[in-house]
Amino acid sequence: MTTLITGATRGIGQALMGGYLAQGSEVIGTARAPKDGPGRWLVADMANPASITALGAQMQEQPLDLLVCNAGIYRDKGQPIETGFAAQMWEETFSVNVTGVFLTIQALLPNLRAAKGKIAIISSQMGSNTRAPGGSYIYRASKAAVLNLGRNLATDLRHEGIAVGIYHPGWVRTDMGGDDADISIEQARDGLMARFAALSVATTGCFETWDGRAHPL
């Protein structure tokens, strides 16, 4: 089994890479700069379309069983509504969290087709239309957009046998989630790996939590 994880240098991506390596899988991680370490590393900057195109070229014709679109940024935490949320912040966040996800899937579609692989998109409960506690407008909007993207991709790729799942990883104790978050990175990793394993064409388009609950859209 070959798995590619974007944004695998830290947080959930790093934990997932370690988890799949421990299972004996072939794992490819992406980083914004050249990196050495366990597994195979390729350079891919989710904010740079040319870098993503180059990622596809580096993969050549290698079949890909699982693509985990994990790379993401959260720049607008705590921004004041009166003076925050600058236009450049919107552009940067959407380029990574939404456009980068689509371009990665597009670039690696031949590899996924070769294996009838799966696509796992890490979104967030903060992208759900049923939750609106306010604040973090840019991050919330980007995660709502990638949720919509994933569900539409699921429709278009179903007939090819490629399943697409969208996931809330939990509020995880990472640099992004903070020390007060609900769950450990090990809990998130194990739960997400179980979700990815269970994903099939029958469940394509699902929006689920790390522990297997269907999340309201």
Instruction: Give the pLDDT confidence of 115-164 residue by residue, as tens digits.
Output: 999 999 999 999 998 888 999 999 999 999 999 999 999 999 999 999 99
Residues contacting 169, CB < 8 A, separation 6+:
12, 122, 124, 188, 191, 192, 210
- pLDDT, the chain, mean: 95
pTM of the predicted structure, to 2 decimals: 0.95
Mean pLDDT of 38-47: 96
pLDDT at residue 183 in the model: 86
User: Is the CB of residue 41 less than 8 Å from the CB of residue 29?
Assistant: yes
Per residue in 151-210, pLDDT (tens digit) is 999 999 999 999 999 999 988 877 666 677 688 989 999 999 999 999 999 999 999 999
Task: Pick the range with the lowest mean pLDDT from 46-50, 88-92, 139-143, 175-179.
Answer: 175-179
> What's the topology of domain 2-209?
Rossmann fold (3.40.50)
* Amino acid letter for position 102: F
Number of other CB atoms surrounding residue 52 within 10 Å: 24
pLDDT at residue 180 in the model: 72
Q: Could you tell me the residue ranges of all domains in the chain?
A: 2-209
Q: Does the pLDDT of residue 81 top 90, yes or no?
A: yes
